Amino acid sequence: MSPPNDPVPTLPNPDPILTELRDFRAQCEARYAFNNRWDVFLTVGGIAVGIGVVAAGVNEASKLSTILGAIVTAILSAQRAFPFGQRAQFYRALSGQTANLQTDVTNNLTTVAVAATTLKSLRLDFAQQLPRGSTSGTESLNPAPNPHG
């Protein structure tokens, strides 16, 4: 047993690939939280304002109903232009894939070289394959060809 005045022993530096995986996962989780928060806010806001439109209509407050209707339209437009829900799912999936890779590395189920290659692929997805908003319904009918196959 060591004397009480000995400094607390420090653990050796973690494996660099595990550090990179933790950092990348933290980035994915931060973006997931941001997008999920905005998705919930817009959805709940749209429902609440929609109920307000009905309440204003029942009380024959046509001016208020018109204003609230415009707010509902703005909320729906924002949800279409900024697909926070899809983005949240995207970052959640990346975080899960990174967690699985961390498990593989921690348990020596993969090599560092394979883990680094997989991490590169996840980072590429992070950078390039973010779900984009749309301005009309034609994008889903005529998707642009993917230059990466």
Q: What is the pLDDT of residues 9-24, one digit of tens each?
A: 443 444 899 999 999 9
Mean pLDDT of 92-96: 96
Tell which wins on pLDDT, 79 or 138.
79
pLDDT at 142 > cutoff 60: no
Provide the 10 A C-beta neighbour count for residue 90: 20
Q: What is the pLDDT of residues 103-114, one digit of tens each?
A: 999 998 999 999
Q: How confident is the model at residue 143 (pLDDT cuts 50, 70, 90)?
A: very low
Q: Does this model's pTM top 0.75? A: no
Element (H, E) at 110: none
Amino acid residing at 38 = W
Cα of 93 vs its chain's centroid, Å: 8
How confident is the model at residue 144, as a pLDDT?
46
pLDDT at 7 > cutoff 80: no
Nearest CA to 93 out of 83, 81, 103, 101 is that of 101
- 149 CB contacts (<8 Å, ≥6 apart)? none
- 126 CB contacts (<8 Å, ≥6 apart)? 24, 27, 28, 94
